[in-house]
Amino acid sequence: MARLQEKYKNEIVPELRKELGRENPLALPRLDKVVISMGVGKAIENKNRLDAAARDLSQIAGQKASLTRARKSVANFKLRKGQNIGVKVTLRGARAYEFLDRLISIVIPRIRDFRGLSPKAFDEAGNYNLGISEQVVFPEINLDKVEFVQGMNVTIGVRARNRADSFELLKRFGVPFRVQEAAEEKKPARPATAQA
């Protein structure tokens, strides 16, 4: 069992039960999946970029990356419908917890000029999205073998009732959110004053 998964079962679930007042463990927020994707727009000109991105993403995730295809044609970008344009990996279960643990404890501290993650990057369903500008911050990537620097998007899929529940779960996992914005997020909105 992954270290973060063990922490969730033994520490976080009892804390969330008390705080949220829900006895049923299925009513508590939980990690559903982690999706890591790379959009390789320059693969149109150079097919090697897509192969390099797939290789790097497979090393990072520990699982084979699948190719993503363009949904529609865009003449300005010389893009045809069905053309390979990116790679992605979906991690579930122990692999998702293990990747999230590495992301929080190893990768995020290695990001240059890091000042905390924005607590505003949650969607309506409570999933969290973050962008990483280069794959070399992952320790699995050998700097000598990197052909192209490529950014990626990480989506942390959380099963929760709302954004606040997702925020609480990720905060307890140890995700380093910006303190100032997190405090503003929790404040209730000020009522509008009537103008005379």
Domain with 80 in it: what CATH number?
A: 3.30.1440.10
Query: What proportion of the chain, given as a percentage, has pLDDT over 90?
Result: 13
Alpha-carbon gap, residue 118 to 187, rounded angstroms: 16
> Is the predicted pLDDT of residue 34 greater than 90, yes or no?
yes
Token digits of residue 155: 């989506």
The whole-number pLDDT of residue 184 equals 55
The whole-number pLDDT of residue 124 equals 87
Within a domain: 183: no
Within a domain: 52: yes
Give the closest residue to 148 by CA, choosing from 13, 61, 48, 70: 48
Instruction: Specify the pairing of strand 66-69 against strand 30-39.
Output: unpaired
Record the pTM.
0.80
Alpha-carbon gap, residue 17 to 94, rounded angstroms: 22
Phi-psi region of 170 (alpha: psi -120 to 50; beta: other; left: phi over 0): alpha
Rounded to an integer, the average pLDDT of 43-59 is: 80
Q: Which domain, by its residues, includes 87?
A: 38-175
83-123 pLDDT, tens digit per residue, is 778 889 999 999 999 999 988 888 888 888 888 888 888 88
Alpha-carbon gap, residue 47 to 58, rounded angstroms: 17
Cβ(65)–Cβ(116) below 8 Å: no
Within a domain: 135: yes
Within a domain: 162: yes
Within a domain: 25: no
124-167 pLDDT, tens digit per residue, is 888 999 888 887 788 887 777 777 788 889 999 999 888 888 89
Half-sphere exposure of 73 (CA within 13 A, CB side): 4
Within a domain: 54: yes
Within a domain: 147: yes
**In the chain, how many domains are there?**
1
The mean pLDDT value of the chain amounts to 82
The whole-number pLDDT of residue 33 equals 93
Neighbour-count burial of 134, counting CB atoms closer than 10 A to its CB (0-12 exposed, 13-18 middle, 19+ buried): middle
Alpha-carbon gap, residue 189 to 168, rounded angstroms: 19
Within a domain: 33: no
